Amino acid sequence: MFGKRLEDIVSKAYVEPNHDLSYETALFAEADGEVVGMASGYTAEQHRRFNRKVVNRAAGRSIVRISIIYALLSPMMRFLHTYDEGDFYLQFLAVDEAFRGRGIGSVLIHAMEERGRERGSTQYAIDVSGRNDNARRLYGHQGFVDRACWPRLRFMRPVIQRMVKPL
C-alpha cells in the first residue's frame, strides 16, 4: 500500500506516539546486537483512539496512492480493522529468514501475549494470509484457532484468516 516509500513512511511515523505504526506498539528480538525479529500489537481500545493523521503526514504525496488502494480494498480493510472488545491484536510478526526455526517467533508471540494480558485484554487475535501455511501452523502450535475469514466464499480459499486465542 505504501509502495516504494514504505521504509521512509514507516520510519517517520514510528517515532510519533498514538498510532498503529508507533514505537509504542513494537517489540524487537536481538541476537548478538543485531535485530532479528519484530512484533507489533495493540488493544482494540488503543486502535479506536489511534490518530491516522500521523501516517498521513508521514506519507506526504503518497497519501493519494494509499487512499486509492485503501478504497479499492475497502471490504478487506474493514475485515482487517474490526476488533472485538477485549481483543489484543498482533499486527506484525517478522523474523529474519536466517534466524527462523530458533524459537524467536514464539518468544515474540509470548511477549506480546503478556502485553495483552497486562492491558486487560481477554482475547489474542491475528490475521494470517490464507496461503501462509507455515505461519498458520506456528500460531496453531501457540494455541490459536481459526475464528473468521475473508472472503467467505465456498469456492475460494480465504485470502485472510483471523486466528484467536483466549487470554
Report pLDDT digits (tens) over 101-118.
Answer: 999 999 999 999 999 999
pLDDT score of 1: 64
pLDDT score of 48: 87
CA–CA distance, 46 with 17 (Å, rounded to integer): 11
Q: Is 29 helix (H, G, I), strand (E, B) or coil?
A: strand
Q: Is the pLDDT of residue 49 over 90?
A: no
Burial of 23 (0-12, 13-18, 19+ CB in 10 A): exposed
Percentage of the residues of the chain whose pLDDT score is greater than 90: 57
Q: Which domain holds residue 71?
A: 3-166
Average pLDDT of the chain? 90
Residue 115, domain CATH: 3.40.630.30
Number of domains in the chain: 1
Q: Is the pLDDT of residue 88 over 80?
A: yes
Grid coordinates given for 27: 517489540
Residues 37/96, Cβ–Cβ less than 8 Å: yes
Q: Is the pLDDT of residue 167 over 80?
A: yes
